[in-house]
Amino acid sequence: MNIQDLKLKLRSFAEEREWDQFHSPKNLAMALGGEAGELLEHFQWLTEDQSRRLTTDQTRMAKVSEEVADIAIYIVRLCDKLDIDLESAIENKIRANAAKYPVNLAKGNATKYTEFGR
Amino acid sequence: MNIQDLKLKLRSFAEEREWDQFHSPKNLAMALGGEAGELLEHFQWLTEDQSRRLTTDQTRMAKVSEEVADIAIYIVRLCDKLDIDLESAIENKIRANAAKYPVNLAKGNATKYTEFGR
Amino acid sequence: MNIQDLKLKLRSFAEEREWDQFHSPKNLAMALGGEAGELLEHFQWLTEDQSRRLTTDQTRMAKVSEEVADIAIYIVRLCDKLDIDLESAIENKIRANAAKYPVNLAKGNATKYTEFGR
Amino acid sequence: MNIQDLKLKLRSFAEEREWDQFHSPKNLAMALGGEAGELLEHFQWLTEDQSRRLTTDQTRMAKVSEEVADIAIYIVRLCDKLDIDLESAIENKIRANAAKYPVNLAKGNATKYTEFGR
C-alpha cells in the first residue's frame, strides 16, 4: 500500500461516515497530538534500554503498534485536507537534513545532540 | 517511495551519522511528541474555518509541511527500531475502526463524535 | 495551599513510595506530555462553542479536572527536580508577555493572533 | 502569589488585550499541548542522568523555566474558563493517588512503574 492509496482509502472511510465535518485541519492536528501523548505514556517510565527491549513484550507492542498506526492515519488525513504531498514533503525534509547535518561534520560530533553538557 | 524504502533510507541516514545511540524508542517517541506540539502551534489560535483555508498561506504551508514530514520520519524510525510493520499496523487499525464504526451506525449518528452535547 | 506546600507534599508522596528513581526531569517531561495529550482528546472533536459549554457536562468535567490536576502535579514535580522557582518563573513570564504585547498595540490588533488570514 | 490571584491577573491580562475571543477551552488545551511539546524538545536527546544535570546549564534552564511557566499559565487560564477550582482538583487527585498507590504496596514494588519487563 502506498501513501496515495492510503489517502484515498481513508478519505472514503470518512466520507462514508460523514465525518468530514469533524476533520478540519485544526481538529486533525489535535487528534494527532492526542495520539502522540498516548504513545509517550508507553515509554515515560522506561529507561532507554527498557524501551529498546519493548519488542519482547507482545501485549505492549500490540498497543504501541496501534498508536503508531493512529498517528500515521491522522498524518495522511491531515495531508489530504491540506493538499500536502506527503512523499514530497518527506523527501524535501530528508534533503534539508542532509544539508544541515553533513556526514563529515555530524559524525562523531553530532552538535545537534551534544549541545548539552559541553 | 514506499514505506520500506523510506525506512532503509532513514536507517542509513542515522547510521552514517552515528545517531543510532540517540534513537532509542523512548527518545524517538519524545521527538515525535515534540513535533506534534509544533504542529499544534500552527493551529491553536485559528478557527476551524481558518484552518481549512490555511492552504492559501504559502509561508505557513511550507512550515506545516515540514512538521508533518518530521512526524512521518519519526514514526518510520520508531517502527524500524521496534520492528513494527507500519503498513500492516495501519491496515489492522483501519479494519478495527471499520468494525467499531460500521457505516450504517456511524453515519448521521457518529456517536464517536457526538458524545458531547446530547 | 500554595505552590511551596504542594511541592513538599508531592515530594513526600514520591519519597514514601521510592518513586524518585523514576522522576528524572526527562521522565517527568514525558509524563506531562502524555497528560497534555489526554487533555487534547477531550476537546479534539468539539467546536470552540461546544468546548465553552463543556461546563454543563459533569461527567466530562470530572475527567478534565483530573487531567489538569495531573498536569499541574507534574509541573510542580518537575520544578522541584530542576530547582525552578515556579512562582518567579510565572511572574517573569507575565512581565515578559506584558512587554511583548503592550495593551495599546495588542488590543484590537493582536498580531499574535491574526498573523493568519490577513 | 496564590492560584486565585494568578487567575485574576491572567484574566485581566487577556481582557485588556481583548484576547478572550481566542481563549476558548479548546484553543487553550491546544496551546498547552504546544508548550508541552516544546518542553519535550529540551529533553528528547538527553539521557536521564543528563536531564538531572540540566540545572548546571543556565542557558537551557532559562528556556525550560519559560516553558514550565507557559504551561502553568495555560493551565490556570483553562481552569478559569471552565470554572475548575484547580486547588481542589489537585487535592482530590493527590487523595485519589494515595488510595490507588498505598505506601505499603507501592514501595519497593511500584507496580505502576514495573509493569514492563516482568
Q: Kindly report, residue by residue over A1-57, the tens digit of the pLDDT.
A: 789 999 999 999 999 999 999 999 999 999 999 999 999 999 999 999 999 999 999
CA dihedral over D19, D23, D27, D29, signed as positive or negative:
positive
pLDDT computed for residue A2 by the predictor: 87
From the CA atom positions of chain B, what is the Rg in Å?
A: 18
Query: Which A-chain residues 2-21 have CB contacts (< 8 A) with chain D?
Result: none
pLDDT band at residue A58, thresholds of 50, 70 and 90? very high
Let me know: does A45 contact C22? Beta carbons within 8 Å: yes
The reply to whether D53 and D73 lie within a common domain is yes
Q: How confident is the model at residue C116 (pLDDT cuts 50, 70, 90)?
A: very low
Q: CB of B41 within 8 Å of any CB in chain D? A: yes
Q: How confident is the model at residue B115 (pLDDT cuts 50, 70, 90)?
A: low
CATH code: domain of residue A41: 1.10.287.1080
User: Is the domain of D73 the same as that of D16?
Assistant: yes
Residue A113: predicted pLDDT: 57
Q: Are residues C99 and C80 in the same domain?
A: no
Domain count, chain C: 2
| Cα-Cα end-to-end distance for chain D | 45
What is the pTM (predicted TM-score) of this model?
0.94
Answer yes or no: do D16 and D59 share one domain. yes
Kindly tell me if the per-residue pLDDT of C30 is higher than 60: yes
| CA nearest to D108 within chain C | C18
* Residue-range definition of the domain harbouring residue A67: 3-84
- Do C91 and C37 reside in the same domain of the chain? no
pLDDT at A118: 35
Predicted-complex ipTM score: 0.93
Going from the first residue of chain D to its last (118 residues), give the mean pLDDT of each consecutive group of 10, the final group possibly shorter.
92 95 97 98 97 97 98 98 97 96 77 50
Q: Do C20 and C35 share a domain, yes or no?
A: yes
My answer on whether D74 and D16 are in the same domain is: yes
Q: Do A44 and C34 touch (CB under 8 A)?
A: yes
* Secondary structure class of B3 (helix, strand, coil): helix
Report the distance separating Cα B104 and Cα B113, nearest Å. 15
**B24 at the C interface (CB within 8 A)?**
no
> Contact, A89 vs B68, CB < 8 A?
yes
In this structure, the answer to whether residues B93 and B118 fall within a common structural domain is: yes
pLDDT at B117: 40
Question: Cα distance from A78 to chain C (closest Cα, Å)?
Answer: 14
| Whether residue A99 is found in the same domain as residue A111 | yes
User: Residue B53: its chain C contacts at CB < 8 A?
Assistant: 117
- Tell me the three cell numbers of residue D1: 502569589
Shared domain for A79 and A89, answered yes or no, is no
pLDDT the model gives residue B1: 73
A31 and A78 together in one domain: yes
Mean pLDDT of C41-68: 97
**pLDDT at position D116:** 46
CB contact under 8 A, A26 and B46: yes
Distance CA D45, CA A114 (A): 9
Q: What percent of chain B stands above pLDDT 90?
A: 86
pLDDT at B14 over 80: yes
B63 touches chain D (CB under 8 A): no
Instruction: State residue A66's pLDDT score.
Output: 98
Cα nearest neighbour of C41 on chain B: B113
Q: Is C58 exposed, middle or buried (0-12, 13-18, 19+ CB in 10 A)?
A: exposed
Would residue A117 be called left, alpha or beta, if left means φ above 0 and alpha means ψ between -120 and 50 degrees? left
B37 and B58 together in one domain = yes
Q: Which residue has the higher pLDDT, D112 or B19?
A: B19
D113 touches chain A (CB under 8 A): yes
For residue A51, the distance in angstroms to the closest alpha carbon of chain C comes to 13
What's the pLDDT at D2? 87
pLDDT computed for residue D108 by the predictor: 57
How much is the pLDDT for D118?
35
